[in-house]
Structure 1
Amino acid sequence: MGGFPNGAGTDIYARRLAEPLSRALGVPVVVDNRSGAGGNIASEYVSKQAADGYLFMFGTAGTHAINAALYRRLPFNVINDFTPVVLLGDVPNVMIVSPEKRPNFRTCQDVMTAARARPQAISYASTGNGASTHLAGAQVAVAAHLDMLHVPYRGQPGAIASLLAGDTDVFFNQTGAAMGPIRQGQVRALAVLTRERLAALPDVPTVSEACGLPPMDTSTWYGLLAPAHLPAPIVNRMNTEVNRIISTPEFREWLIQNQAITPPAAPNTPEQFRQTLAADVARWADVVRASGATVD
């Protein structure tokens, strides 16, 4: 189960994984997206289901680390109510604009100059309050001392549509969903919010190179989780099968070149995922506090 709409980066990855995973497990793997509240609707549903091995959540650092800092009260515990199964990769953000609607925005410096000249006049879209696409924009704005208008949408389709229509000016999108529009020429990539350039976008400078800002990395992770207390044999079987699939040359090529996602390093165990989750809850709490991001 995913917590974001069809067409989101999580949806794209989940559907690519579902077919080979179905063959490996010998049962159909169905992708069911229940979007809303930054992924909390899906998270709450999964947290209350039986740990029988038939339901898994395609979680993110947003649903299971960022939200823990953004929301004062969650109807679930991001650590205790879930079983970490396997990490699926690290997902960076990329700063994009519409070359048709904003032809004057050819570089990050162009955007910053416009934002400084007209406070609150330059807007950035996001996939929702508190999403990584929101925090990425907030981090850039804070670092560059910009007063930009945040415009949240309910997921990827609305946010990208607003950019293409000219309703918003900038989108700090996740690469998994942005690569298609970038390669089709629908959007222009101005900077990647990582410390090093991405193999899939070698000509796109880092935010440090393009914007003159300190090095920054807003990457988040994708991962499979299950309800708490999933039996160890099921956890290990799913971990093994998913690791086998995503480590094949074909799948790694798709992740790195098509999605600009960094595959997890071996051995990628459930315990390593658990440690990553716990560390990220603390890390993103600091980011949320520094960015000033809030949830309506």
Structure 2
Amino acid sequence: MLRRTALALAALAPLALPAAAQEAPWPNRPITIMGGFPNGSGVDIYARKLAEPLSRSLGVPVVVDNRTGAGGNIASEYVARARPDGYTFLLATAGTHAINATLYKSLPFDPLRDVTHIAILGDVPNVLLVNPQHSPGLRTCRDLVAAAKARPGALAYASTGNGASTHLSAVQFAAAAGIDVLHVPYRGQGPAMVSLLGGETAFFFNQSGPSIGPVQQGQLRALGVTTRARLAPLPDVPTIEEACGLPGFESSTWYGLVAPPGLPAPIQARMTQEVARIIAEPDFVAWLTDSQGITPPADPGPASFRRIHEADVARWAEIVRRSGAQVD
């Protein structure tokens, strides 16, 4: 009897081991980077560029899954509520995790508390675009301001959505230049670009990544960039400060990689290490600066990322309040 009991206990012993002891070391299955914006958006372009080398360095597939809608909040909430097991991440933006904190009356997640910061991925400017076919007279930023002052409230501009950075850049610009212009929000970068190309709107502050190609190909004309320095891929395009004589004008956002709250520290550290190494590689830096107009971070680490994130929540809150934008 005692022998049978001992054998039974021995058979059950492996089942009593903690789950962590039975699992293979992280990572041992595919990792997903969620995005809140459509295919072809700046977020999607960056996520896919990062996923390839990250997959090689971690030894598992890294896939991109875009769940669009509500200004990126659908994907953000999904990741905020996901298991913190190291298999779900989000390519967050200043829009989803700073602007939306004030723009939306209520959010189903806390933009600051419901994340584990992994790495900030770069500073993302906007480019002031016009269509040379439909607006041949708008050759400079000062031409645009003069046209807006000549017909207050008549000149329309596109954005990727109410309260998006592409909207708030225009709000900042209009306030600094003293002009009254008409906001026409669209559902994402693609429809907004179509409106500009079709002549439905006169200008668009679009993110640098999707803007550079159409400008270099002559489809669109860039009148200025929202950074304090010119962009490497558009060296002949002045800053808004230069082009319109608006001292100190700057309006840019950031991309960052986050995970659900409660991610184990060893996984956070490993992911930060791999991402920081990849985005510092010369080829990746060249891609960021020369093809996307994105400034790589000086310090991509979680502590630096959190400081920037906290400061941006406060900074954008003032701009959102000034714009009057509000989403239920």
Q: Supply the AA of the counterpart residue of 2:272.
A: N
Maintained 8 Å contact 1:138/1:293: no
Q: 1:114 & 1:295 partners in 2: Cα distance?
A: 30
DSSP 3-state at the match of 1:32: strand
1:93 aligned residue (98, 104, 126): 126
Q: Name 2:72's counterpart in structure 1.
A: 39
Opposite residue 54 of structure 2, the aligned amino acid is L
> Aligned partners of 1:148, 1:294: CA distance in 2, in Å?
18
Q: Equivalent residue for 2:112?
A: 79
Structure 1 residue 287 displacement after superposition: 1.8
Larger mean CA deviation between 209-218 and 255-264 belongs to 209-218
User: TM-score scaled to structure 2, two decimals?
Assistant: 0.88
**CA displacement, residues 196-224 of structure 1 (integer Å, 9 cap, x when unaligned):** 22222221111121112222111111000
1:48 aligns with 2:67: no
Q: Does 1:151 align with 2:151?
A: no
Task: Tell me, yes or no, if the aligned pair for 1:101 and 1:166 is still in contact at 8 Å.
Answer: yes
Q: Which amino acid aligns with 1:157?
A: G
Q: 1:248 aligns with which of 281, 284, 288?
A: 281
Distance 1:186 1:230 in 2: 45
Q: Which runs of 5+ in 1 are unaligned?
A: none
User: Map of 1:19-168 to 2, 5 A cutoff?
Assistant: 19-168=52-201
Aligned match of 2:249 in 212, 216, 233?
A: 216
SS in 1 for 2:206: strand
Q: Partners of 1:21 and 1:184 in 2: how far apart?
A: 31
RMSD of Structure 2 on Structure 1 (CA): 1.1
The separation in 1 between residues aligned to 2:47 and 2:211, in whole angstroms, is: 16
Which 10-residue stretch deviates more, 98-107 or 245-254?
98-107
For 2:122, give the aligned amino acid: G
Q: Does 1:293 align with 2:325?
A: yes
Percent of residue pairs bearing the same amino acid type: 64
Partners of 1:240 and 1:181 in 2: how far apart?
Answer: 35
Aligned to 1:14: 47
- What is the SS of the residue equivalent to 2:35? coil
The yes-or-no answer on 1:181 pairing with 2:214 is: yes
Report the alpha carbon displacement of residue 146 of structure 1 after superposing the two structures with TM.
Answer: 1.1
Do structure 1's residue 260 and structure 2's residue 268 form an aligned pair?
Answer: no
Deviations 1:42-65 (A, max 9, x none): 111111111111110000000000
Q: Distance in 1 between matches of 2:219 and 2:58?
A: 38
Distance apart, 1:151 and its partner CA: 0.8
Paired residue for 2:312?
Answer: 280
Amino acid aligned to 1:286: E
CA contact (8 A) 1:207 1:215 kept: no
Number of residue pairs matched?
295
Equivalent-residue separation in structure 2 for 1:213 and 1:63 (angstroms): 28
Amino acid at match of 1:11: D
Whether the 8 Å CA contact 2:54–2:62 is kept in 1: the answer is yes
- In the alignment, does 2:302 pair up with 1:270? yes
- Aligned-pair CA distance for 1:110: 1.3
Instruction: Check the 8 A contact 2:224/2:240 in 1, yes or no.
Output: yes
Query: Using CA pairs below 8 Å that are at least 6 residues apart, which structure has the higher relative contact order?
Result: 1
Q: Distance in 1 between matches of 2:210 and 2:264?
A: 33
**Higher Cα radius of gyration:** 2
SS for the counterpart of 2:82 is coil
Counterpart-to-counterpart distance in 1, 2:178 and 2:148? 10
> CA separation in 2, counterparts of 1:149 and 1:171?
11
TM-superposed CA distance for 1:275, in Å, is 1.5
